[in-house]
Amino acid sequence: MSRSIRGFALVVLAGVSLQAQEPAPPAETAPANPPAAAPASASRNANDPQPYDRVITKEARSAKGVFTVHQIRDRYYFEIAKAQLGREFLFNVRIAKTTIGVGNGGDEINDLVVRWELNGNKVNLRNVNYAVTADPKTPVALAVKAANNDTILMTFPVAAFSKGGAPVIEVSRLYSSDVPEFGVRQRLGATGMDGSRSFIERVSPYPENVEAESTQTFTRAQGNGAPAFNGMRPGSASVVVHYSMVKLPEDPMKPRLFDERVGYFSTSMLDYSREEHRAPLVRYIARWRLEKKNPAAAVSDPVKPIVFYIDAATPMKWREWLKKGVEDWQPAFEAAGFSHAITAEMAPTHEEDPDFSPEDSRFSVIRWMPSTVENAFGPHISDPRTGEILNAEILFYHNIMNLESDWYFLQASPLDPRAQKLPLPDDLMGRLIEYVIAHEIGHTLGLEHNMKASSTYPQEKVRDKDWLHKMGHTPSIMDYARFNYVAQPEDNIPVEDLVPRIGPYDTFAVKWGYGPIDAKTPEDEKVKLNEWARAQDTTPWLRFSTAGAAGADFGELTEAVGDADAVKSSALGLKNLQRVAKILMAATTSKPGEPYDDLGEIYGRMLAQWTLEMNHVAAVVGTFDSQTKYSGQEGRLYTPVPKARQQAAMRFLAENAFATPSWAIDPEILRRIEPIGVLSRIRNAQNSILTNLLSSARFARLSEQQAIDGSAAFAPEDFLTAVRRAIWRELDSDRVHIDNYRRNLQHSWLELANAKVNSNPPPAQSMVSPDEKPFYRAELRKLSAKIASALDKAADRETRAHLQGARDQIARILDPRFTQGANNTGAANRVAFDGFASIASPDACWPDYIILP
């Protein structure tokens, strides 16, 4: 056990959990002060404060901390010292434990700043809003205060006063009732809360905080709309809600101003006291308070390091890997001037320190969650006044190991012999855990995702053995670059260089956010911060995702490697996937007597990986290369991708994404995992790529690029023609044969064209060009003519029926009122299909017609 934990336990009787279920022993620390209230009289109001010892009786179990907490049976009282009245606390609400299917344990619900204030014989709990502010020394501060009055969340009658004048209030309902501002019921999508099935588990005071937990049972009525995302179904659900109330620092940290060029989470407010003609949005980055022990030293230990405690529930064999994931960040902090700035320690067990709790906000904890969720995340809570991170935790869900294992197999097994059979060996699995933890630690340090990072290295470098050893295949572990699927077996890349690590962007960002600057105010730091940020001008891999790009930058992709040239990288990735397909059976069926579940799961994820890589190429069309720049930096923010590169991307998609992936269609696999499904799998994958490629936002960008750049741009009409020819290329053959897979893809194209022509997007969708509908109508007319010419060349009945049905469907798309005899009598039967009114054709191939009168 660390000295820091033991030190906390010795200061005061803190961390004593007052459990509602336990019998109440004699009082431990009940005040012995005589009552402060006047003797009872006939005129006393029943709601007036009572003598102290009539309220806090000998039955009370008491514990001291920032507040003294008293428990009497199932009632809880706060004794609030005068020094704490009017002080501001950060009140955080999260789900600690949940019922299966109702959210996730660890989910944050809300956090807000609160203040306890005494008003006569009542104590008000107010919500302090920092969305708007002003320097209290300025006249406008009065107007801001009047426009931003603090909301009263709850009022408590004073039950008694201590001898020192501290009010004593019963706070049970704060933790056992539905407080709208806490938002638990709303987050779960519940319709009500059942107080008879809700109760407080414990309330634990500590020197700077109060932690509480309560079991709350919520109900959801039948037929009350769709449940919230990951929300509860009709019926009942009991969850454990954790409340953390942390005293904000008396001496606020000097904040650091936010800069869009470097990716930090931030807190913001409108400041009406600035000398500007409009109230500016002032944003401060989220970061820990790091101060040098020796300010004169170039590198110094911090006064208070960042310490993460590893949950005692963590399996033994993974503990060192979690510790490594935390301490991988130490070199980045050394570059910022701090040695030993971040460390990891094992959390003590209950036997080693009964006062330690992972919910105690003094401690930042990596928690191992027994959950089938394939995820991990690292939330933090910060001071809204300055952005100072006060507490953080990482929730590591057990089954993320399965996701990481599958990804590594699919992306790196052709390069790493250890990964050519599942399950992965412990040393490799441990390295993958280290990678996940290091990424989540980045979030707890205040860093956002940087999806642009992987596109800033020259494409050829991700196969360069020397470069990879020094720089990694992505400059930021905060990217979703995963594992190096671009490198080839002949490149002989050492296996330790296939997994991302802390990169040059991460080191740059930590220095920018944490490096000490000798300045009195945040504004005085701007010159130095701008100087540091300008390093991005000459070193592209220090850049962050462009604010406001909204998907318009081809390099801001998830799950991409080498996306500086997605065509070359995806071609190499495809080679590796074809290698994976050949070892898929052997890798997943090494355990006799086991079902083929692993084979089915990995096969599905293999197609998903192919879809991802094809979508990386689709992203090249109609996009830009961008860099966030501020005044004084030369050049534009957005540079269109050259026309030739966009056309090359279209050719690649025609030859790969829209060609049937025969390498993935293996009867030996398919007949082991399902009786039917491969046609749907391939169609869904290709439809995903096609839908992405034909997005309205992409068409609008192409249209605007043509308007600005003229013939230098990839014209939207040429783009749509290229897509149509790729999907319907068989029509140009002397003998037209269209197989099942290609028919499916062509059906997808017709459905998308139908949606483009006959849907009416709301006017608010500014990314929809008015040219889109007429251009698609033109493409449909061209296609109808091509089909008419190709009908006589049909090589088989299936192809002919498909082409006739496609031509009929085009007629319906172009004019939904069009009718055609659905039988020999010429009767016009209107039918509903896919949400559009249409007509049945005797040659149509569409299933499930519903005949309408």
* Average of per-residue pLDDT across 525-540: 98
Query: Does the pLDDT of residue 816 top 80, yes or no?
Result: no
Q: What is the pLDDT of residues 747-756, one digit of tens each?
A: 999 999 999 9
Identify the pLDDT of residue 46: 67
* Cα torsion 286, 4, 437, 400: sign: negative
Q: What letter does residue 558 receive in the DSSP assignment?
A: S
Which helix (DSSP H) or strand (DSSP E) does residue 469 occupy? helix 465-471
Q: What is the pLDDT of residues 404-433, one digit of tens each?
A: 999 999 999 999 999 999 999 999 999 999
pLDDT top residue among 185 and 344:
344
Residue type, 790: A
* Cα torsion 23, 29, 34, 35: sign: negative
Residue appearing with tokens 């689709």:
618
SS3 19: strand
- Going by pLDDT thresholds of 50, 70 and 90, the confidence category of residue 482 is very high
In angstroms, the CA 360 to CA 209 distance is 8
Q: Give the β-pairing of 209-220 and 151-161.
A: unpaired
Q: Give the β-pairing of 122-128 and 108-119.
A: antiparallel
Q: What is the pLDDT of residues 100-125, one digit of tens each?
A: 656 556 677 888 999 999 999 999 99
Q: What is the pLDDT of residues 717-732, one digit of tens each?
A: 999 999 999 999 999 9
In angstroms, the CA 452 to CA 732 distance is 40
Residue appearing with tokens 């980055």:
285
Q: Which of 305-319, 341-355, 551-565 has the lowest mean pLDDT?
A: 341-355
* Average of per-residue pLDDT across 67-88: 96
What's the order of all strands across the beta sheet hosting 266-271? 132-133, 266-271, 281-285
Residue appearing with tokens 């992965």:
424
In angstroms, the CA 789 to CA 792 distance is 7
Q: Which two tokens stand for residue 845?
A: 């191939």
Q: What is the pLDDT of residues 778-810, one digit of tens each?
A: 999 999 999 999 999 999 999 999 999 999 999
pTM: 0.85
Nearest 5°: the CA angle 367, 506, 397 is 20
Residue appearing with tokens 């069926």:
589
Query: Does the pLDDT of residue 435 top 50, yes or no?
Result: yes
Nearest 5°: the CA angle 107, 113, 118 is 130
**Residue 829 exposed, middle or buried by CB count within 10 Å (0-12, 13-18, 19+):** middle
Q: Which two tokens stand for residue 623?
A: 């996009």
* Average of per-residue pLDDT across 470-496: 97
Q: Which two tokens stand for residue 242?
A: 């954790």
In angstroms, the CA 740 to CA 730 distance is 13
Identify the pLDDT of residue 246: 92
CA proximity to 159, closest of 169, 151, 150:
169
Half-sphere exposure of 126 (CA within 13 A, CB side): 19
Give the CA-trace dihedral at 306, 307, 308, 312, to 10 degrees: -170
Query: Does the pLDDT of residue 28 top 60, yes or no?
Result: no
CA proximity to 106, closest of 341, 398, 505:
398
Give the CA-trace dihedral at 805, 806, 812, 814, to 10 degrees: -160
Identify the pLDDT of residue 109: 82
- In the beta sheet, which residues pair with residue 30? none
Query: Does the pLDDT of residue 68 top 50, yes or no?
Result: yes
Domain residue extents for the chain: 3-38+46-137+147-248, 306-606, 694-819
Q: What is the pLDDT of residues 380-408, one digit of tens each?
A: 989 999 999 999 999 999 999 999 999 99
Query: Does the pLDDT of residue 451 top 60, yes or no?
Result: yes
Query: Does the pLDDT of residue 228 top 80, yes or no?
Result: no
Residue appearing with tokens 């017709």:
750
Mean confidence (pLDDT) of the chain = 87
Query: Does the pLDDT of residue 5 top 60, yes or no?
Result: no
Identify the pLDDT of residue 697: 95
Query: Does the pLDDT of residue 491 top 90, yes or no?
Result: yes
* Cα torsion 687, 690, 692, 696: sign: negative
Distances (CA, A) of 336 to 286, 332, 445: 16, 7, 13
